[in-house]
Chain A
Amino acid sequence: MPSDPKPLNGDQAAVQQRFLSLFLRSEREVFRYVAALVPSVADAEDIVQQTALALWEKFDAYDPAQPFTPWACRFALNKARQWIERRQRWQALLAGGLAEELARRREELRPEVERRLAHLEKCVDKLPGEQRALVEGYYYRRTGIEALARESKRTVEATYKMLQRVRHALQRCVENAAQLEEATP
C-alpha cells in the first residue's frame, strides 16, 4: 500500500537540523557583520542568504569543536566580496581596502559598541509614538517605504529623512545613557 509522501527522515534530516539550528543562532551576528560592509538591509540579507547556501554546502568541513559564528563570518566576507565586485557603486564605497579595514575596526570597536547599544531597547521604548511606529514599520515589519509614507501622509523623501532623524535620536540616547553609566560610580 502506498502511503502518503513523508517528510524526509533519517541522517540527512538530522544533519539539516543541526545546520539550521547552528545557522539560525548565528544569523543575526552574520547579518550585522555583512551589514557593516553593505548596510542596505535587503542587499545584506541577499548576501547572508548566499552565505547560508555556501555554508550548507561546506557543512561537512565544519569542525564542531570550533565556534560556528567566526567560521560563518569567513564565508560571509567572501560572499560579500563576490557580491560587491559585481556592483560598481558598492565597489566605489569599499575600494582601496576599505572593506577589510571596516571589518577589522568593527572588531576593535566591538566592546564600546556593545556598551552603547545595550541601552538601545530602553531608547526605542522612549521614542514618541509616531517615531517608534516608523522604526518598527521599517525595521521590524519591513513595510515598504511607500506604504510607510502613505500611512504617515508624508512624501517618500520626508519619510527617509524622518528615519534618519529617529536613528540620530536613538544614537544620542544610547550615547548619553552610556556616558551616564560611566559617570555613575
Chain B
Amino acid sequence: MNLRFPSPEFDDAVAAVCHGLASDEQMQSLNELLRTSSAAQDAYLFRVELHSRLASETDLFATTACALSVEEPRPLTPILSSGGGEGERQLPNVLSLPNRRRRMAWAVALAACFVVLAAGFALWLTRPAAKGTTSTAVAMLTRAVDARWGQNTGLVRVGSALGPGWLRLESGLAQVVFYSGARLVIEGPTELRLVSTSEAICPTGRVLAEVPQPARGFRLKTDHLNVLDLGTAFGVDATHDRTEVHVFQGKVELLSGTAAKQSLGEGQAAVSQGNAPPRLMAASAVAFTPLFDFQQRSLVSEAFRYEQWQFANAQLNQDPSLVVHWDFENLSGSDWTLRNAAEKNRSVPEATIVGCQRAEGRWREKQALEFHSVNDRVRLTVPGEFEALTLSAWVCVKGLDRQFNSLFMCDGFEPGTIHWLIRNDGVLGLTVFGPKAGNLQITATPPVLTLDKLGMWLHLAVVLDGKARQVVHYVNGAPVAREALKVAPPYRLGPTELGNWNAKSGPNLDTKLIRNLSGALDEFELFSRAFNDAEIHDLYVKGRPD
C-alpha cells in the first residue's frame, strides 16, 4: 500500500493505530510515509497527542468526574494506608485519574514489586538499602480471589504488608508471602496467625506452602503438629481435632506432642488425630487442587521470580571476580552493543551483537538473544591472564545441528585459551589448549543434553580451576563431570565469541569449523575464580525460572 498525505487512507491508518487495530500493511506504509514526509509526521504527532490527551486528561470531563468520584473506590489506598506523610496528602489530587481497571492493575503490580523488595532484602541481607527498615511487618498479601475476610481481621487488601497477628479468611483464596520467602496459599475458611517471617500457626483451615531454599526452616503449627519445612512444597489440612500434612516436594519434619520427631518425604502424608501418634499414608493433592491452580495462575508470582532475579543480580554485579555479566536486559533492535553489567571489573566494557534475534527469556518480561544462522554471534575481547575461570549460562538449546555447537569459544586454537561447547551427541565439553600447538585437553561429560532437555531453559556451568587442577561441568546446579586438569595456568581468552566461533583460518569451508549454536541465551557470567559446588548451585537458584 502506498500511503499519501493528506488522504483519507492516511486518516484511517492513524485512527487504526490509535485504536490498536492497524494492519501490518497500514503500519508499514505509515512508517514509510512518516520517515519521508515531515508534514505527515507533524500531523501524525498532533493527532496522536490529541488522542492521548483525551485518554489521560480527566479534567476534560470535569463535571462527570465529580459525579463519579463518589462511587469510585480508591484501590491504591492499601499500599498507602499507613502513615499520612506528605505523599499521601497530595494523593487525592493525582488520584482523580480515571479508570478503575488500570488502577487495580497498578495496585497489584506495585504490590508485587514491593513484596519483591522485601523478599530481596531477606535474601540478600547485605543490600545496603536494607539498613533502616524498621517495619514490624512479617509478610505481605500478594493475591486474593473472592476473598472474604473475618470481621476481626483488620483492613487487608492485596498489597497490604502484614504484621504479626491473625488473618481470618472466611472464603475465597489468598496468597501470603513471608519476608523469608515462604509463600502460603490459603483457602477459606482458614485461620492463620502470623508469628514471624518464618513461622505461622494454623489451627483450622487449608494451606499450601511453598518454601524456597532461602526460607528453609519455615514452621507451620496446628493444634496437633508442628511442621518444620526443609525446603519443599507441602499442604496442611487442619481442624481442631485432626491435622493432615501432605508433602509434594522435598522433605518436612513433624513434631507432635506425643511422638518422637518424624520426617516425611516427597509423596508421603501423615494424619494426626487426638493424642495418637501421626499415622502415615500416601500424599494426595486432590484436596489442594484449587490452591495449586491458584498458585499456577499467579502471574504475579512469575513477575516475582523475575524481580527477585534482578535483585539478586544487583548483588552479584558487585562481585570483584565477575569479569563479564550479560543479563540481556534492555536489548534494543537498533543497538548492537551488549552492556556488561559487572560493576567492579570494567576490563570488558561491552560486546558486539552480530545478527541474532530478540526472543523471550526465562520469564515473560525477560529478554533473550536467539542464535540461529551461521552468522549469529556475540563478539568480545577479554584481556589478561587467569589462574581460574568460571563460566555460567542460561541456555535454551533448540537443536544440536552442528558437530560442535559453541557456547563460548575463543578464536582459533591459541595457547592457554578454551572452547566451551556442546557436541551433537549431547556431551558438554571444555577444551583447554596447552602452551604448544597440538597440546590440548578435552574434558567432556556423559551425554547430558538429551532430547528431552531441548527447548527447556537450562543452567550450564563449567569451572576451570588451575590451582586444584580440575575441570567441573554442571547442569542445573549439579556437577555432571569432574576431571583432572593437565594444562597448567595461566589461561587466556582474548578475542572470543558467544554462540559461535571464529576459526581464524579463512573461509569456514570445513563443516567441522562451523560451530554456531542453535538456541537462545538469556544470561551469561564469566568469573576470574573457581566457584565451588555450593556457589554454582546458588547461581542456579538465583536464576531458576520458578
Contacts and interface: CB of A to CB of B under 8 A. Distances in A.
Interface of A: 2-14, 16-18, 20-21, 24-25, 27-28, 31-32, 35-36, 39-45, 49-50, 52-53, 56-57, 60, 78, 81-82, 84-86, 88-98, 101-102, 105-106, 109, 113, 116-117, 120-121, 124, 135-136, 139-142, 145, 160, 163-164, 167-168, 170-171, 174
Given A10-B134, A86-B358, A96-B35, A105 B42 contact: yes
Contacts of B18: 39-41, 167
For the residues of B in contact with A, the DSSP-based class is helix
B108 to A, nearest CB: 10
A164 B90 CA distance: 36
B7 interface: no
Interface residues of B, number: 103
15 contacts: A2-B166, A4-B153, A5-B163, A7-B155, A12-B117, A21-B90, A25-B90, A36-B45, A45-B105, A57-B311, A60-B129, A92-B28, A120-B54, A120-B60, A139-B55
B91 A52 contact: no
Contact of A20 (B44, B58, B79, B331): B79
Interface string B254-278: 0000000000000000000000000
A90 B30 CA distance: 11
Given A2-B193, A78-B330, A31 B22 contact: no
Contacts, number: 275
B136 A35 contact: no
Given A3-B164, A113-B49, A171-B47, 9 more contacts: A12-B117, A12-B118, A31-B52, A44-B52, A85-B367, A86-B358, A109-B46, A140-B61, A142-B102
Given A9-B136, A91-B333, A96-B35, A121 B17 contact: no
Interface in B494-545: none
Contacts of B282: none
B52 A85 contact: no
Contact of A53 (B97, B110, B154): B110
Contacts of B81: 7
Interface string B152-186: 11111000111111110000000000000000000
B48 A171 contact: no
B307 interface: yes
A12 B60 contact: no
A85 B137 contact: no
Interface in B1-60: 11-12, 15, 17-22, 24, 27-28, 30-31, 34-35, 41-42, 44-60
Contacts of B34: 98, 102
Contacts of B73: none
B83 interface: yes
A171 B79 CA distance: 39
Interface in B333-361: 333-334, 358, 360
Interface centre among B54, B59, B110, B165 (most CB of A within 10 A): B54
A7 B346 CA distance: 43
Contacts of B64: 136, 140
A164 B13 CA distance: 11
A102 B358 contact: no
B85 interface: yes
Contacts of B17: 39-40, 93
A91 B31 CA distance: 9
